[in-house]
Amino acid sequence: MLDLKIEKKLADFNLSMQLKTDEKLIGILGSSGSGKSMLLKCIAGLVKPDNGRIQIDQDILYDADQKIDLPIRKRRVGFLFQNYALFPNMTVVENICFGIDGEKEKKHEQAMNLIEKYYLTEIKDRYPGQISGGQQQRVALARAIASKPEIMLLDEPFSALDVHLRNRMIHEMQLFLKDFDGIALFVTHNMEEAYQLCDHIAVVADGGIESFQDKKELFKSPGSVSTAQITGCKNVSAAKKKDEQHVFVVDWGVTLKLAAKVSCESGFVGMRANQIKVIDQPEGENCLKVWMVDEAETLFKTSVFVRIDGIPLKDKDYHLHLIMVYEERKRILGNDFFIRLPAESLFFMEE
């Protein structure tokens, strides 16, 4: 069980986070500078909060009221740093041995077990400067796990890796986390990584935890505008309630139907860019005629930017951002075409 409440004044914002959960694997998703790394540092004891409490299972790591502040070395946290922070003057074996307690031979034996498990046998006598990024990450994981932590703190572990290596290491991390029986917090700004690795995700914005829920729920209906944006929603607009299931979307100037009930008078609606459908004829609800204003191609997908009320004369302002595969793109023949915003994909957010 993880139970934490942290308050800390920082130079550019205030950290104020609260989280209590029995989940073992928790994704922490937030943009850079939102305070997500600071959360990990507070748990590890690298940074002291101004106020609050941190408890893992039965162990109280920090409690401002009881004046408990365990030193870092007694907290039993495994910290995986963005740059892995391997000791450059020690070989792979020595790095792994560092966190193991006990006699020399026992230490070595345990380290060798981990080395075998993490496929490091061939490079065990090399220095960190002589091995690849992926190998470095494996050494850092083995080193952290060797100290038998109760909680693993993973701080953007893939951001230093090349793309081709990243996917493989994400897969390895999945296996690692499956094997680890403590609590793991995985911090990232990349929603796909968070989605791939964790079942439950906490969204962090402006120093606070905006929401904490099952990942499928989170992506289907983010509770707030900032959560929607962090989870990659490209289309957000202010909206006013018309009736139980219809809203008037202010920025787009249209009335749309929602599958879920509208909870309050005014708020926002969101629509993910990849869930907008290109259609041949306007049939049924939520169909709109749009004009293309811009397009940005990527390797497998293309982004199409459209306006609802005709081609703008001067600026390239757009209303909706659509993302589609090239197969789908072929259905767009002229400058204007029809789209549908499926009611079940539209979500309403309170202010």
Partner 1 sequence: MGFDLTPAYISLKVTLTATLIIFFLGLLIAWWMTNYNGRFKLVIDGVLTLPLVLPPTVAGFILLVLIGKNGPVGQFMSLFGVNIIFSWYAAVIASVFVAFPLMYRTVMGAFEQIDHNILSAARTLGASEWTVFWKIAVPAARPGIAAATALTFARCLGEFGATLMVAGNIPGKTTTIPLAIYFATQSNNMEVAVIWVAIIMVISLTVLIVMNYWEAHQKKLRKGASD
Q: What would the two tokens of residue 32 be?
A: 């850079």
Q: Which stretch binds partner 1 (CB under 8 A): 97-105, 222-230, 297-305, 308-316?
A: 97-105
Q: What mask of x and - would describe binding to partner 1 in positions 31 to 60, judged by CB under 8 A?
A: -------------xxx--------------
**Which stretch of DSSP H or E encloses residue 235?**
strand 235-243
193 three-state secondary structure? helix
Minimum distance, C-beta of residue 127 to partner 1, in the bound complex (Å): 5
Choose between 150 and 172: whose C-beta lies nearer to partner 1: 150
Closest CA to 303 of 276, 321, 284, 280: 321
Given a contact cutoff of 8 angstroms between Cβ atoms, the answer to whether 200 and 23 are in contact is yes
Query: What CA–CA distance (Å, rounded) separates 194 from 191?
Result: 5
Minimum distance, C-beta of residue 106 to partner 1, in the bound complex (Å): 15
Query: What CA–CA distance (Å, rounded) separates 150 from 57?
Result: 9
- When binding is defined by CB under 8 A, the residue of 13, 127, 248, 338 that contacts partner 1 is 127
Minimum distance, C-beta of residue 271 to partner 1, in the bound complex (Å): 40
Closest CA to 198 of 175, 223, 215, 212: 215
162 interacts with partner 1 by CB under 8 A = no
Query: What CA–CA distance (Å, rounded) separates 305 from 315?
Result: 13
129 interacts with partner 1 by CB under 8 A = yes
- When binding is defined by CB under 8 A, the residue of 85, 279, 287, 292 that contacts partner 1 is 85
Other beta carbons less than 10 A from residue 64's beta carbon: 17
89 interacts with partner 1 by CB under 8 A = yes
81 interacts with partner 1 by CB under 8 A = yes
Task: Give the residues lining the site for partner 1 (CB under 8 A).
Answer: 44-46, 72-75, 77-79, 81-83, 85-89, 98-99, 101, 126-127, 129-131, 143-144, 147
